[in-house]
Chain A
Amino acid sequence: MSESPPPPSSQNAPDEALQARLQQLRDEFPEALLEERLSEAEMDFTVAPAALADFVDALRRLLLPPQHAFCDACGVERAEGIEAVYRLSLLMEPRRVTIRTLVPRNKALLPTLTHLYKGALWAERELAEMFGVHFEGHPDLRHLLLPEDWQGYPLRKDYEVPRAHPYLAPDPLREAPERVLGAEAAAEDANS
């Protein structure tokens, strides 16, 4: 088992060791690490989609304490596409760790993080069904919250909310009144 790095310092400014490891991370992903926001309160990285899994793996190895928790994964639709936001919880300090990646709407493909965190199993399932993102390598991308035959991606902004309830039978009084009221009564009804 490789030696685990000490946890990031919670002092006022990131200390030297932390800076060195951050630089190592930057060196490993010169093109994929697109943006970073670092402060005492947070570590927020934006990466290119294809490098997501490798980046998170390297992040774990270099910067995070060995005992940290998966927190959350969700999607946000932005102007340029769908952003997947992953959060990790550091148990010993309140600093937030966030990893973001943006995929285009018509090619929403991401590598899965399920081999790193089991919490991603369900979180990615929900992201997939709500936003239409496909996670390559995910063992089980069935619908989680939605019925298995649901069409469309509800949380996308261009989703058309169905007007009629999809699982109710049509109202016979409206669709075929003559069968319910009788031919004469239906005709009267229509004329009045």
Chain B
Amino acid sequence: MSDPTVGTTDELLVNMGPQHPSTHGVLRVALRLDGEKVLGADPDIGYLHSSMEKIAEALDYKQYVPYADRFDYLNAMGNELCYVRAVERLAGITVTPRCEYIRVILAELNRLASHMLYFAAIGIDLGATTVFLYTFRERELILDLFEWISGQRLLYHFLRIGGMRNDLPDGWTDKVRELLALLPERFEEYDDLLTRNRIFIGRTRGVGVISPEEALEYGMSGPCLRACGFPYDLRKLDGYSVYPELDFNVCVEEGGDCYARHLVRVAELRESVKIIGQALDRLPEGDVNVAVPRKLKPEAGEVYERVESPRGELGCYLVSDGSDKPWRMHWRAPSFYNLSALDTMCTGGWMADMVAVIASTDIVLGDVDR
């Protein structure tokens, strides 16, 4: 007869999601657990799949901009930037310098807003609820700026092929400068609350480790890859738009754990503030729009245009057959590849660490599922 004082354990299958406050969207992770130890994490995605790639084949190029907003909905300006740049390259359209600078300012403001939301999310997921409201206080200021310029807080439909919907309203740049002036002090507040918080460090240091080689194999990019020691930042490497004229650093950390990913984003907040300040100083006068044919029919061909989104390498692969509708549009979504490494990052860890790892990869399900 077996000894009744010795327990046995069974492997347990627990669903994390799709309805879950900490999965950053509709994500289901099928966890295999031995007690509290994670034996395997299998992400089940597709809950937010809206066949945006198929829809692209039915719309003309100009109609697609609002759809581009909706992939990584926390980085709508960045998505639009990637899309309009791809179409402009395919169609041979060159935009004005003022347009390029404004696009960079908007993309970096979006990066700030996205990283602030990351701060808020990882804080609240791990129980530090105060940080959420502190970062959202400044994020509201950024969303107000976006609302002023485009009419929308989150999904803008602002950039257009060949330019943008309208030029900057009077006083907008002054308001941006006001914001930039108060941000460094606020970043110190966030760090006091979270980055230098002993509990936060305890919950994120050494957690969700991914080795540099595996990160490369999975196709990770953005802060997740830079936290493994690779200075891979498309703003520097490709030098697209007017980034080559601006002076900023690539933020790299070592370790490949949640805390390293966090530190990369902390540093990127400050770099974005620098970039916006410089772009404002150098903002040229002139038009923001160039003439674009009413029916845009790029020549047959293909292009793969990529930008550095807050999540990593966002790419738009556009194939044209010479008509006014794309033949094929494929989005290289950074969150898709970052999430695919979840099993490697979580296996062998504790169930409670799942939340920290998912939050630190900063995924957006709109990006993952498209």
CB distance from B228 to the nearest CB of A (A): 10
A70 and B217 within 8 A (CB): yes
- Considering the chains assembled together, what is the distance between the CA atoms of A68 and B238 in angstroms? 15
- Considering the chains assembled together, what is the distance between the CA atoms of A93 and B94 in angstroms? 24
Interface with B: A47-55, A71-79, A183-191, which one?
Answer: A71-79
Instruction: Report the tally of A-B residue pairs with Cβ distances under 8 A.
Output: 90
Chain B CB within 8 A of A180 CB: no
B230 and A155 within 8 A (CB): no
Chain B CB within 8 A of A91 CB: yes
Extra contacts, 20 of them, besides A87-B332, A89-B313 (Cβ < 8 A), are A67-B216, A67-B230, A69-B232, A70-B217, A70-B337, A71-B332, A72-B219, A72-B317, A72-B332, A74-B330, A76-B327, A76-B328, A85-B317, A87-B315, A91-B230, A118-B340, A118-B341, A119-B337, A123-B219, A144-B45
Chain B CB within 8 A of A154 CB: yes
- Considering the chains assembled together, what is the distance between the CA atoms of A154 and B55 in angstroms? 11
- How would residues 79 to 105 of chain A score, 1 for a CB under 8 Å from any chain B CB and 0 otherwise? 000000101010111101010000000
Provide the residues of chain A in CB contact with B49, threshold 8 Å: 145-146
CB distance from B210 to the nearest CB of A (A): 11
CB distance from B18 to the nearest CB of A (A): 13
Q: Which of B53, B237, B340 meets A121, CB within 8 Å?
A: B340
Given contacts A94-B237, A96-B304, contact A68 B54 (CB under 8 A): no
- Considering the chains assembled together, what is the distance between the CA atoms of A158 and B298 in angstroms? 24
| Chain A: CB-nearest residue to B238 | A94
Chain A CB within 8 A of B46 CB: yes
Q: Which of A70, A72, A77, A145 meets B328, CB within 8 Å?
A: A77
Q: List 23 A-B contacts (CB under 8 A).
A: A67-B216, A67-B230, A69-B219, A69-B225, A70-B218, A70-B219, A70-B337, A72-B337, A76-B328, A87-B332, A91-B232, A91-B237, A92-B237, A94-B239, A96-B304, A117-B219, A119-B218, A122-B336, A123-B219, A143-B46, A144-B46, A146-B46, A161-B54
Interface residues of B in 338-356 (CB under 8 A from A): 340-341, 344
Chain A CB within 8 A of B114 CB: no
Chain B CB within 8 A of A147 CB: yes
Chain A CB within 8 A of B319 CB: yes
Chain A CB within 8 A of B51 CB: yes
Q: Which of A69, A76, A85, A146 meets B220, CB within 8 Å?
A: A69
B237 and A93 within 8 A (CB): yes
Provide the residues of chain B in CB contact with A67, threshold 8 Å: 212, 216, 230
Provide the residues of chain B in CB contact with A68, threshold 8 Å: 216
B217 and A118 within 8 A (CB): yes
- In the complex, the 7 A-B pairs of residues with the closest C-beta atoms, listed nearest first: A119-B219, A145-B46, A70-B219, A74-B330, A72-B332, A145-B49, A122-B340
- Considering the chains assembled together, what is the distance between the CA atoms of A76 and B54 in angstroms? 11
| Chain B: CB-nearest residue to A117 | B217
Chain A CB within 8 A of B221 CB: yes
Q: Which of B212, B221, B313, B317 meets A74, CB within 8 Å?
A: B317
| Chain B: CB-nearest residue to A91 | B232
Interface residues of B in 39-74 (CB under 8 A from A): 45-46, 49, 51, 53-54
Chain A CB within 8 A of B214 CB: yes
Provide the residues of chain A in CB contact with B219, threshold 8 Å: 69-72, 89, 117, 119, 123
Provide the residues of chain A in CB contact with B328, threshold 8 Å: 76-77
Chain A CB within 8 A of B369 CB: yes
- Considering the chains assembled together, what is the distance between the CA atoms of A76 and B300 in angstroms? 14
B45 and A69 within 8 A (CB): no
Provide the residues of chain B in CB contact with A144, threshold 8 Å: 45-46
- Considering the chains assembled together, what is the distance between the CA atoms of A91 and B232 in angstroms? 6
